[in-house]
């Protein structure tokens, strides 16, 4: 009798697992083992090699090994996240957190060098520039005009309210922190990931609905305003640290004017020169010339942006807008791939490296600290509330305001870029964002990136059932 009951229970478990496999597209067991082996086997070999030759100090080996593990693990985790209908940036960040706490166990002190290795940091910075360059290529400056004033109001509210809430949270829970640290915490809360939101809208077929157009237009405007704000705050930090001009209202206004003029001039040049540049590249007969020229322009404008006292990512973003101001796709011929398509292999290599490297700076021990968890929780609540307040900027009637507020919640890669720049800025001889503050910000990015797509799906599905999405 007991054997029969156990057999029936086992059959029920197998049946439920098969139903789950049909409902949620998991990776096959063989693919899962291959992914795990591709990560753990090299780590085991490296650990054995270090143990066998403790006196040796290879110069390039640890760097190459770290690069191999980070890129391979990021891609494997990204594929798994996509199977689960989640943003790949979320998986890449989790991989970084895991590696940052696991590599020291396998490799000892050598595993700690990956977090601050100058070569890896440089490659990660290249990944950020490529990411913002790609975002600029996909942006359409006409999108803001098409959706009208509502998108600009939504973006403005989504910028101001999170800054106020972030400033208040840092003032309350970090009373000894410098005012610029509190301002930068608020700046990280103002970010919005247009890529994640656009992907969810596309999957739901709501890109061309009124809600979808307002969300995408507001997210693009939020990116532009956020980059300008980042330039201002970074310039204020540099000035306060003594590496730039004296901090004054006039200096802050100068940074703001330079950032606005820089973006305006590059976009203006792009409107008149983007098509002639594409035709000139087509006459060369080399389909790869557009990629070489695009990356050269990206890196050059990033350098110019830094010379003007702004972050290099602003120059990279401006380069994308300049080459493709309308998001139509730059190509040297009708049969050739666009610049964004040719850029994809480089993006797949360098962009995940940045997110993984950011994750390695998060210590799991710090996340167990009640103070860090408390600060992270307050930031999460402020990040959600600040973007939900965006719905107040919608002027049209009959629009699902809740969907617009939820669509602006995910911080994703943009929030991580802002936080990463904060760790690179120094004030009074210390990083602008300390390890504990950075961990709390990353926790906020993780939660908003994970929750927002699911919430947006639920809101839009419910609105569609009620006839709200048109």
Domain boundaries, the chain: 118-465
Tens of pLDDT, residue by residue over 284-318, are 777 778 888 889 999 999 998 888 777 787 788 88
* Cβ-contact 162, 441 below 8 angstroms: no
Mark out the alpha helices in 210-248 (DSSP H runs). Answer: 210-240
Looking at mean pLDDT, say which of 200-209, 265-274, 282-291 comes out highest.
265-274
Ramachandran angles phi, psi of 331, nearest 5°: -145, 155
Q: How far is CA 457 from the centre of its chain?
A: 20
What would the pLDDT profile of 223-237 be if each residue is shown by its tens digit? 778 878 887 888 778
DSSP string, 393-422: G--SSS--HHHHHHHT---HHHHHHHHHHH
Residue 136: the pLDDT is 81
In the chain, % of residues over pLDDT 70:
75
Handedness of CA 452, 458, 461, 466 (dihedral sign): negative
What are the pLDDT digits (tens) for 406-464?
Answer: 888 888 777 888 888 888 888 777 888 888 888 899 889 888 887 887 788 788 777 66
CATH code for residues 118-465: 1.20.1530.20
Report the pLDDT value the prediction gives residue 384, as an integer from 0 to 100.
93
What gap in Å lies between CA 194 and CA 215, rounded to an integer? 9
What is the chain's mean pLDDT, rounded? Answer: 76
Confirm if 211 and 460 have CB atoms less than 8 A apart.
yes
DSSP H helices, 84-178, are 88-107, 118-138, 142-147, 149-173
Least confident of 133-142, 239-248, 281-290, 460-469: 239-248
Measured distance CA(322)–CA(136) in Å, rounded:
8
* Residues 79-105: tens digit of each pLDDT: 887 777 777 777 887 888 887 777 666
């Amino acid at each position: 009798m007991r054997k029969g009951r156990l057999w029936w229970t086992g059959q029920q478990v197998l049946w439920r697992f098969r139903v789950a496999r049909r409902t949620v597209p998991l990776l096959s067991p063989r693919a899962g083992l291959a992914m795990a082996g591709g990560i753990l086997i090299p780590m085991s070999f490296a650990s054995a090699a270090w143990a066998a030759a403790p006196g040796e100090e290879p110069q390039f080996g640890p760097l190459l090994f770290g690069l191999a593990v980070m890129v391979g693990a990021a891609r494997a985790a990204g594929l798994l996240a996509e199977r689960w209908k989640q943003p790949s940036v979320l998986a890449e960040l989790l991989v970084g957190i895991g590696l940052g706490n696991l590599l020291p166990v396998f490799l000892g002190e050598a595993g700690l060098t990956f977090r601050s290795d100058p070569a890896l940091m440089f490659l990660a910075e290249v990944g950020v520039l490529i990411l913002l360059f790609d975002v600029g290529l996909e942006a359409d400056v006409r999108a803001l005009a098409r959706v009208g004033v509502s998108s600009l109001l939504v973006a403005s509210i989504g910028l101001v309210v999170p800054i106020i809430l972030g400033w208040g949270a840092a003032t309350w829970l970090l009373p000894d922190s410098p005012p610029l640290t509190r301002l930068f915490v608020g700046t990280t809360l103002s970010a919005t990931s247009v890529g994640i939101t656009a992907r969810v809208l596309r999957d739901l077929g709501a890109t061309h609905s009124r809600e979808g157009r307002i969300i995408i237009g507001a997210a693009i405007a939020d990116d532009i305003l956020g980059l300008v704000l980042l330039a201002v705050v970074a310039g204020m930090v540099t000035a306060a640290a003594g590496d730039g001009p004296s901090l004054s209202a006039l200096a802050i206004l100068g940074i703001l004017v330079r950032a606005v003029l820089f973006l305006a001039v590059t976009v203006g040049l792009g409107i008149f020169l983007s098509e002639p540049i594409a035709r000139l590249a087509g006459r060369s007969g080399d389909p790869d010339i557009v990629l070489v020229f695009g990356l050269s322009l990206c890196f050059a404008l990033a350098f110019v942006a830094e010379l003007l006292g702004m972050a290099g990512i602003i120059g990279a973003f401006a380069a994308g807008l300049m080459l493709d101001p309308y998001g139509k796709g730059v190509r040297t011929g009708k049969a050739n791939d666009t610049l964004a398509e040719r850029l994809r292999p480089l993006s797949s290599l360098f962009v995940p490296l940045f997110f993984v490297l950011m994750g390695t700076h998060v210590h799991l021990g710090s996340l167990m600290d009640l103070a860090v968890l408390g600060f992270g929780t307050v930031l999460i609540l402020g990040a959600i509330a600040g973007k939900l307040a965006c719905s107040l900027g919608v002027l049209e009637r009959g629009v699902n305001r809740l969907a617009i507020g939820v669509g602006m919640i995910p911080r994703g890669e943009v929030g991580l870029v802002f936080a990463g720049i904060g760790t690179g800025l120094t004030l009074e001889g210390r990083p602008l964002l300390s390890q504990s503050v950075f961990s709390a910000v990353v926790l906020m990015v993780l939660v908003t990136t994970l929750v927002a797509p699911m919430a947006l799906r639920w809101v839009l599905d419910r609105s569609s059932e009620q006839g709200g999405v048109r």
